[in-house]
Amino acid sequence: MTIKDIAKEANVSAGTVDRVIHDRPGVSNRTKAKIQKILDKHNFERNVLASTLAYKRKYTIALLIPYFCSDRDFWYEPNKGAGLAINEIKSYGVVTHRFYFKMQDLESFEKAQAQILALNPDGVVFAAFFYSSSLEFIGALKHRKIPFVLINIDIESQGNLTFIGQDSFQGGKMAGKLLSLNLTKNAQVAILRSRNVNNHNAIDARIKGFMSFFSGSKHLGFSFTEIYFDEFSKEKTAKVLLGELEQNKSIQGIFVPSSMAFHVAEFLEEHNLEEIRLVGFDAHVNNLKYLKTGTIDFLIDQDPMEQGYMGVKLMFEFLLFKKRPRKIYNSAINIVTKENSEFFRSPKAVEGIEV
């Protein structure tokens, strides 16, 4: 059933049918009703391919995420997912420009923002690092009426099309449960956190969720201590941990509410402290290494590839097909252990295919 068929049945031209389908002005009510009736009768759905081709409109999407050095880094994955989506939608006349900034470098973030505003894209997908700078960027986007999608890091702002990321509180609660499985009663647990971090909110929420798991009566015996770092790096981690663990020999479990558990694991292995139980976030290659040796017991993964993929894909569907996404897409809370470290994400249909 094509527009032509409908037109013939209604004794009008294809152009008129098209006007009715898209509710464009310039059709008499009488004709409109007649055509609509036939459309409904046949349950007409227009051919999206032909439609897209005829529209001729080109769309530009900008993606802004942290720079990554190798495929072992967290942000490699969202970038990969975005790449899959970009590839899928390019036939539809969508060109996606990718911008990267350095995670510790506000200037690089703002430079990328300026470039994006200069590009004046039809939509923006980004990770809201640097709280106040992100808010300004959002202000500029809203002013220009450019729709935007947030991935990975939420920010209490209005007007984003959707947010795609993990529920941090639930993730933290999950971490609490997992750590508890390997601890005996009355264990002492250390929570490790860095002072120099951009997404305080997510870290705080994870810790709140973590503590909430132990608030039930079952785990009254546990005690907790927070250990602060200036930043996560091999040397600094070692220095602080040496002091703390020396001072407090009864620490049996460590919770790292960020993706930096591998630094801790490296330290534990070097000091033969593998019996300390360790739970962290994000199953990137750096962390997986220590999951496999058993020094990290559990990782909680959020399928970052999917975040990149969906960010771009949902923006595309909004721009071309006016499909408005839900306000929030909760990423997976995947539990990763030695046993499923090869199988903790669904294999994506779009990858791994040779032409």
Partner DNA sequence: CTGAAAGCGCTTACAG
- Residue 346 interface partner, choices a second copy, DNA, none, CB cut-off 5-8 Å depending on type: a second copy
The full length of the chain comes to 355
Strands (E), 102-147: 123-126
For position 242 contacting DNA by CB under 7 A, the verdict is no
Which residue in the set 4, 37, 42, 292 belongs to the binding site for DNA (CB under 7 A)? 4
For position 122 contacting DNA by CB under 7 A, the verdict is no
Per-residue mark of binding to a second copy, 257-296 (x: CB under 8 A): ----------------------------------------
For position 59 contacting a second copy by CB under 8 A, the verdict is no
Which residue in the set 31, 36, 52, 201 belongs to the binding site for a second copy (CB under 8 A)? 52
CA–CA gap between residue 207 and residue 178 (Å, rounded)? 14
What's the closest the beta carbon of residue 14 comes to DNA, in angstroms? 4
CA–CA gap between residue 187 and residue 217 (Å, rounded)? 15
Nearest to 260 by CA among 340, 215, 181, 199: 199
What's the closest the beta carbon of residue 346 comes to DNA, in angstroms? 31
SS3 per residue for 10-76: HCCCHHHHHHHHCCCCCCCHHHHHHHHHHHHHHCCCCCHHHHHHHHCCCEEEEEEEECCCCCCCCCH
CA–CA gap between residue 60 and residue 82 (Å, rounded)? 14
The interface with DNA within residues 55-94 (CB under 7 A) comprises 55-56
Per-residue mark of binding to a second copy, 144-183 (x: CB under 8 A): --------------------x-xx--x--xx--x---xx-
Specify whether the CB–CB gap between 60 and 315 falls below 8 A: no
Of 16 and 334, which has the nearer Cβ to a second copy? 334
Residues that bind DNA (CB under 7 A): 2-4, 11-16, 18-19, 21-22, 25-32, 46-47, 50-51, 53-56
